[in-house]
Amino acid sequence: MGEKVAAVEFGLDDRQRHRDKLRQCLEGLGRLLEEKRFDRPRNLMGLEIELNLAGPDGMPSMMNAKVLERIASRDFQTELGQFNLEVNIVPHRLSGRVLDQLAEELRTGLSYADRKAREVGSGIVMIGILPTLGQEDLVPDNFSAADRYALLNEQVMAARGEDVSIDIDGVERLTCTARSICPEAACTSVQLHLQVTPGRFAAVWNAAQAVAAAQIAVGANSPFLFGRELWRESRPPLFVQSTDTRPPELQAQGVRPRTWFGERWIGSAYELFEENLRFFPPLLPISGDEDPLRVLDAGGVPRLEELVLHNGTVYRWNRPVYGIADGVPHLRVENRVLPAGPTVTDVLANTAFYYGLVRALAEEPRPVWTRLPFAAAADNFDAACRHGIDAVLRWPKGRNGGVVQVPAVRLVREELLPLAAAGLDAWGVEPADRDRYLGVIEGRCRLRTNGASWQAATYHAARDRGLDRHAALAATTRRYCELMATGEPVHTWPVGAAG
């Protein structure tokens, strides 16, 4: 439910019934947790990547329907904009040669998809925000052809009651308005899933929150939007503003945005689901026929459809997920921090860094979240989005020291990379794979280069050669696509256009 919804109008009865069903679902989740009905740990991870489509000129290509028709694989699906696709990789056990296996699967799948896209004059681009996107591209006429996108847009705009305002002040400043949520489609990300037991969920989620800033600092890849150079990772402020259901009065009252970092460390997964119900009105009050409490009474496993649907419209950067596989319920932490790209090698380096770090930090005897104020973690996230590889972060000094400011590159090289290596060892990842992919993160830090800094440097080199803003962004995008196709990690890319 929610994957395929029909356009519909909701009345007061629909909304009241949906609220009642949400409360039943939450009670059902609580009972499942109390009865210890969840799957045993199997070290399962999953990966999703959102993609852009662009033509040979580097401009966005509104052709996902035609491209998907040619790809003809369930692994590839639509996303919000007609220039978006998403590829889903089946779950893997986090051990052995999993990183190289994932890399091979991604290279094969993306190469095939790109060949099919080229049959219709398009191509696959892994990047956080396509630099050549213009405001004229992000309009309802360019929504993908699925009722759920139109319905979500209708409900967000009705709740807001006025146009979406975008205001991002970075290297340059962008201010504009939109009459839909379509600007959200500019944001293409990597989502990393980790299945965890209820007992480990809070530690893994807290660890993921603590390292979100480090992920962004080394992985930023979205410095441009609508022809302006903004934050090094401009997806988060854009996503916050384009999904915001609050009119200015509610913002002034401190009502929370639907896309948010959070405001505290947690003690259980239940707390996050309960917060989502307490803080955020349902956007899509669609109710199914299942009675979750009756299913539980009969010894079954409820789908908790309404809770799952509502949870999907609260855009936490680390989101709790309830799912069922082979008739057994499970919980996952979905990490939504990273932008897509630049290459498969870079994506797998970011993946290795994340899974290694959360394993190591979740098992520390004195966890970092007991020594780092949550507000400092939130400030770190903001600083990393603004400054990328050049960010300065706050971090606990030693096991008993206070919180100090430290350059992100130094924090990563001296403290976080050794932790990530230890975490990958604990997962049983092959040492050669561990060293190869963490070595990419070390190389970015050593050279202070990631996707965002490469894009910015190449753009400015094009401007210095006399190209105007539009031509420089197009040249940067074309060169990005050329180097992306080589598969070499971004910190090794030469700056500037070919030739």
Lowest mean pLDDT among 85-94, 121-130, 150-159, 208-217: 150-159
pLDDT of residue 1: 37
Give me the percent of the chain exceeding a pLDDT of 90: 85
CB environment 320-336: b (16+ within 10 A), e (fewer)? bbbeeeeeebbbbbbbb
Distance, CA of 166 to CA of 184 (rounded, Å): 11
Tally of CB atoms within 10 A around 23: 13
128-178 pLDDT per residue, tens = 999 999 999 998 899 888 777 888 888 888 888 889 999 999 999 999 999
Query: Going by C-beta distance under 8 Å and a sequence separation of 6 or more, which residues neighbour residue 309?
Result: 1, 2, 284, 286
Going from the C-alpha of 482 to that of each of 26, 115, 271, 476, the distances in angstroms are: 49, 14, 46, 10
Q: Is residue 496 exposed (0-12), middle (13-18) or buried (19+ Cβ within 10 Å)?
A: middle
Burial (CB < 10 A; 0-12, 13-18, 19+), residue 29, is: buried
What pTM does this model have?
0.96
Closest to 41 in 3D by CA, of 195, 240, 210? 195
Q: Residues 6 or more apart from 343 whose CB is under 8 A from it?
A: 126, 483, 484, 486, 487, 488, 489, 490
Strand partners, 195: 332
- Rg of the chain (C-alpha set): 22
Phi-psi region of 459 (alpha: psi -120 to 50; beta: other; left: phi over 0): alpha
Residue type, 157: M
Q: For residue 337, count CB atoms less than 10 angstroms from its CB and return exposed for 0-12, middle for 13-18, buried for 19 or more.
A: buried
- 412-445 pLDDT, tens digit per residue, is 999 999 999 999 999 999 999 999 999 999 999 9
Rounded to the nearest integer, the mean pLDDT of the chain is: 94
Beta-carbon count within 10 A of 221 CB: 32
| Residue-wise pLDDT tens digits, 440-458 | 999 999 999 999 999 999 9
pLDDT of 264 > 50? The answer is yes
Assess whether pLDDT exceeds 80 at residue 83.
yes
Say how far residue 61 (Cα) sits from the centre of its chain: 22
Q: Write the single-letter amino acid at 262.
A: G
> Which residues are paired to 332 by β-bridges?
195, 321
Alpha carbon 312 to chain centroid distance? Answer: 13
In 3-state terms the chain splits into helix, strand, coil percentages (rounded to 5) of: 50, 20, 35
Structure tokens at 67: 């491209």
Look-up of token digits 């210890």: 36
pLDDT at residue 498 in the model: 64
80 or 351: whose pLDDT is higher?
Answer: 351
pLDDT tens string 384-393? 999 999 999 9
List pLDDT tens digits, range 323-336: 999 999 999 999 99
**Over 50: is that where the pLDDT of 2 sits?**
no
